[in-house]
Amino acid sequence: MARRATPEVNAGSMADIAFLLLIFFLVTTTIEKDKGIARQLPPDEPPTDEQVVIKQKNLFIVNVNKSDQLLVEEELMDVKDLRQAASSLA
């Protein structure tokens, strides 16, 4: 029995069709844009000329320098002592 020659499939035209389908789907699909959280900010309040009164006993001034040293009420202090100093003023 003689063997038949198997017919070859033209792969060049299949690649063209696949490429055209890829372009078609890329062009026709819609990509949804990310939306942010819908928030409505309160309206700006008009500036007032009232002076806000801040009681000096409610202020606790702490300054920090680039070396992470604390200057609390014009005195050097460690971080571990800051909580106790703040609670003693209240």
Whether 77 is in a domain gets the answer yes
Whether 13 is in a domain gets the answer no
Q: Which domain holds residue 60?
A: 55-90
Whether 23 is in a domain gets the answer no
DSSP β-ladder status, 75-77 and 70-72 = antiparallel
pLDDT attached to residue 1: 60
Whether 81 is in a domain gets the answer yes
Whether 88 is in a domain gets the answer yes
Q: Do residues 52 and 59 make contact, with C-beta atoms less than 8 angstroms apart? A: no
Give, as one character, the DSSP assignment of residue 5.
Answer: P
Whether 1 is in a domain gets the answer no
Instruction: Round to whole Å and give the CA distance between 36 and 15.
Output: 41
Q: Tell me the two tokens of residue 1.
A: 């029995």
Q: Tell me the two tokens of residue 5.
A: 């020659």
Whether 38 is in a domain gets the answer no
Whether 83 is in a domain gets the answer yes
Instruction: Round to whole Å and give the CA distance between 29 and 32.
Output: 10
Structural domains counted in the chain = 1
- Tens digit of each residue's pLDDT (9 = 90 or more) over 19-70: 999 999 999 988 887 777 778 888 988 888 888 888 887 788 889 988 888 9
